[in-house]
Structure 1
Amino acid sequence: MKNLLFVAFAALSVLLSCNQSNKKQDTKQEEVKTLAANSISQLIEMAEQNVGKEVCFKGIVQHVCAHSGRRAFLVDETGKFSIRVEATGEINGFNRELSGSTITVKGSIAEQRLTEKEINEYEAKVKAKEDAEEGGEHCSAEMANITKMRDWMKENNKNYYSIYFVKGTSYEIVE
């Protein structure tokens, strides 16, 4: 259920295989292990416990934001799970021609928490839009996602809804 809710909200925001590697940190030369996830679904499963940690995974570019190219949405091979990747580090942006390509991404797991107040404000905007457009498939899907977020919050006894994504530092196209 948690994965389904994440995927549903990731769609509203329009986020696997690497060897472990070492990275030198500051002048202390400490080693930081990069977590390897075999799939986007595994990345999502381990996200809550690993916020801020480096990760490496593979996915198919489903969408690149057209205005800035600073966000890409990757899906797994089944198309059931997706994750947003924000361009940081060596990534200046994602080229729109990447759509449909399989890429390997390195970056760190990040979390955005939506409070109940923010969800209420979002719901009010969706309802206003629905009234102005006389309903529609788009608004009903958004309302269903809002309901799922609230249900998840109740089930998990949380006063927020977590959205996990990756701050991408580098990527390579898989040939």
Structure 2
Amino acid sequence: MKKFALISLFALILFACGQQPKSQEKAAEAAAVLSVDELLEKAPELANKEVTVKGTVFHVCQQGGERCFLMGSTEDFSIRIEAGEKIGAFTQEQMGSDLEIVGILKEVLTEADAHNPGKEHGEEGEEHVEDAETEAAHQVLAENQEAAERIFFIEGLSVKEMTE
């Protein structure tokens, strides 16, 4: 009986130790604070996931503060932050401040993205025959969609003002 208890205890310790790195990896992944430049570089892989980004506020929308823009290494690298219900609003006093934002990274969907060549048009079940002009238009949309720059924004969940 003693041997069984000792082996069980040993197995429990091994099992617990084997599980720890996975939870540490997840915690480290969730705690990773990205610069705006790093976020934009990794954006396609992070779309629709929770991210944490740090940057300098270079614009706050004057009509209600519903969004702000964080600047990366230059104004050419920036990302839009939507305040939403969780944050409420950004203030003009935050201009020039460093903020750390937690939110969901979303991709801007354009009309071309929403348009799905090959799907039926009109009423459901209605037959649709594509003519050469429509087929050519679908081809142009598909080519432009592939070549278009992908644009991302963050649906904000929380904001923390960084102090120096």
Fold match, TM over 0.5?
Answer: yes
- The question of whether the paired residues in 1 share the 8 Å contact of 2:37 and 2:73 is answered with no
Which runs of structure 2 are paired with 1:50-129 in the superposition (5 Å)?
50-116=46-112
TM-score with structure 1 length normalisation?
Answer: 0.55
Q: Given residue 104 of structure 1, which amino acid in structure 2 is its aligned partner?
A: E
Which runs of structure 2 are paired with 1:20-31 in the superposition (5 Å)?
none
- Between the aligned partners of 1:53 and 1:89, the Cα distance in structure 2 is 18
Q: 1:40 to 1:117 in 2, by over 3 A?
A: closer
CA RMSD of superposed structures (Å): 3.0
C-alpha deviations, 1:21-79, integer Å up to 9, x for none? 75xxxxxxxxxx53735321110111112211010111000001011211000102433
C-alpha deviations, 1:130-171, integer Å up to 9, x for none? xxxxxxxxxxxxxxxxxxxx9xx65xx617653200011111
C-alpha deviations, 1:89-134, integer Å up to 9, x for none? 420110111001111110010011223599xxxxxxxxxxxxxxxx
Q: 1:53 to 1:107 in 2, by over 3 A?
A: same
Does residue 170 (structure 1) correspond to residue 161 (structure 2)? The answer is no
Higher helix share: 2
Task: Determine what percentage of the aligned residue pairs are the same residue.
Answer: 32
Q: 1:103 to 1:64 in 2, by over 3 A?
A: same
- Partner of 2:51: helix, strand, or coil? strand
- Partner of 2:110: helix, strand, or coil? strand
- The question of whether the paired residues in 2 share the 8 Å contact of 1:102 and 1:173 is answered with yes
Q: 1:35 to 1:116 in 2, by over 3 A?
A: farther
- Between the aligned partners of 1:36 and 1:49, the Cα distance in structure 2 is 15
* Runs of at least 5 residues in structure 2 that lack an aligned partner in the other structure: 1-24, 115-139
- Between the aligned partners of 1:46 and 1:86, the Cα distance in structure 2 is 19
- Partner of 1:34: helix, strand, or coil? helix
Q: Given residue 93 of structure 2, which amino acid in structure 1 is its aligned partner?
A: E
TM-score with structure 2 length normalisation?
Answer: 0.58
* Runs of at least 5 residues in structure 1 that lack an aligned partner in the other structure: 1-19, 23-32, 119-149
Who is 1:43 aligned against? 39
Query: Between Structure 1 and Structure 2, how many residues are aligned?
Result: 112
**Structure label with greater radius of gyration:** 2
